[in-house]
Amino acid sequence: MTRHIYINGSYLPENEAKISVMDRAFLFGDAIYEVTAWSTGT
């Protein structure tokens, strides 16, 4: 099963999802963090 990540308004395969090392949330940890997992049944 391929995992997909929603980042910057798009769903991407897990291995293509990237954030900038200069991203404020990455540097300071001040963003909202929420994770939801679901299965497509395949």
For the chain, the domain total comes to 1
Rg of the chain (C-alpha set): 12
% of the chain beyond a pLDDT of 70: 88
Six token digits for residue 8: 């910057």
- Please compute the mean of the pLDDT values over residues 4-22 and round it to a whole number: 88
pLDDT over threshold 70, residue 35: yes
Give residue 38's domain range. 1-42
Q: Measured between alpha carbons, how far is 17 from 37 in angstroms, rounded to an integer?
A: 16
Q: Which residue intervals of the chain are DSSP H helices?
A: 24-28
> What's the confidence (pLDDT) of residue 30?
67
Q: Are 3 and 14 in contact (CB under 8 A)?
A: yes
Percent of the chain with pLDDT over 90: 12
- Which residues, at least 6 apart from 12, have a Cβ–Cβ distance to it below 8 Å? 4, 5
